[in-house]
Amino acid sequence: MSMTKNPKLTLPALRGVIGSWVYYSCLVSLEEVAKRVKFADEIHKSKQLSGMIQRKLQSTRSAQIANYIKTQPERFFNSLVVATYGGKPNWHAITNINSKDSDSDLSNVAEEVLESVGFLTFQGDEKLFALDGQHRLAGIKKAVQDGLPEDQGDEVSVIFVAHKVTPQGLERTRRLFTTLNKTARPVSKGDIIALDEDDVMAICVRKLIEETDYFAENKIAFVATNNMPPTNLESITTIGNLYDILAILFSESESSLKKRKTDLQRSRPSDLELNAYFELANSYISLLSDNFSELHSFLKSDNPSMVVEKHRGAHGGKVIFRPVGLDMLTRVIARLTKSMSLKDAVKLASKLPRDLTSAPFANLLWNTTTNTISNANNVTLREVLMHMVGVSKFSEATLQARYRKAMGDESAKLPSKLI
């Protein structure tokens, strides 16, 4: 955020309390909103996590909202919710109301009502960022930048809440962000990963990024989907794929922590249990590194692009360097844990073929004609891998028929079992 100090500002306000939040509902001009309020980029140590929020706002919606502001006579907005920290904002309650009308209804206003009416003053050095209404804020900024009619004079309702730059304060503000957006409409996967304080996978993804060396620098792509950008030559996978891998690990592998995915998404466990989930995630990445030499080379490399170039590209490469391959291997490992430890499951899975140009990946996952990934036969391929380690849910005859159909070869035989 810019450190430039704005002029002092006094706003008419109502003071209220809901739950553990004290808030101030104020009227603010569009110009002041555009000038003073920033986007939610102050609630992460990782600027790349913050960047996910920023990139989401760079869409046509801001232009549409700006046009709405400038052209729609009956325009109206819901309140923006803005977090404030730093500086010295002050609340000034009105303690008395005088009316010239002796019969005024305001002659006997209760004290608690008076205490809720007043003014909120800002000194100009406060940091303000939007928790709810970020697309509206982007539209307001664009409309002001493009130029508003001189006589427009719009004011929007802004609800200010206090934010503290402490671990507990950051957690509390992130939770408010996702709570507000969840009640408005479905929250995007990217927002959940970056901000959700109840979703166990999201929390663990952030901790893996911010508290370990596995995904330092650009070793993971800050993309919320499982689609690795073709131009990315230095990341092992996407942040969205890492989230999905942890969801499989926590909800499908056998452990004392196993829960349904929906429960993991909606209810934050105790700090002790949350730490156990993080340790499980950390342990899983470590086990993969110990058993997959190509992954080990990547995680330990000071020049990851060289490792990625070797193991991902038009030549095929290793399955673990593809988000779909990492997902598939994790599902195989999770099913193996029904009869063995996670350590032994990873070790056994590491004995499966790894080259995309070899069976069973060739012509099922890797199109050998176009040299591209094809997801048309993912279920069949996954079960073939399960068959190779002895845990397929299909009978051998059923799987053989599926395999031949997918391969387009009526004489194709299933790969041999490893055990």
DSSP calls for 350-370: TTS--BTTSTTTBTTTEETTT
Please give the chain's pLDDT, 419 residues, in tens.
Answer: 445 688 899 999 999 998 888 899 999 999 999 999 988 765 566 767 666 655 566 566 788 888 888 888 888 888 999 988 877 888 888 876 665 555 556 667 676 777 789 899 998 888 888 888 888 898 999 999 999 887 778 999 999 998 776 777 777 777 777 667 665 556 788 888 988 888 999 999 999 999 999 998 789 999 998 999 989 999 999 999 999 999 999 999 999 999 999 889 877 888 999 999 999 999 999 999 999 999 999 999 999 999 999 999 999 999 999 999 999 999 999 999 999 999 999 999 999 999 999 999 999 999 999 999 999 999 999 999 999 999 999 999 999 999 999 999 999 999 999 87
Any idea which residue has 């709405």 for tokens?
68
Residues 6+ apart with CB under 8 A from 374: 364, 365, 366, 367
Q: Please check whether residue 115 is in contact with residue 15, taking contact to mean a CB–CB distance below 8 angstroms.
A: yes
Give the three-class secondary structure for 295.
helix
Give dist(CA 107, CA 233) in Å, integer: 72
Q: Please check whether residue 364 is in contact with residue 388, taking contact to mean a CB–CB distance below 8 angstroms.
A: no
Q: Please check whether residue 305 is in contact with residue 233, taking contact to mean a CB–CB distance below 8 angstroms.
A: yes
**Span between the terminal Cα atoms of the chain, in Å:** 58
Q: Which H or E run includes 273? A: helix 271-291
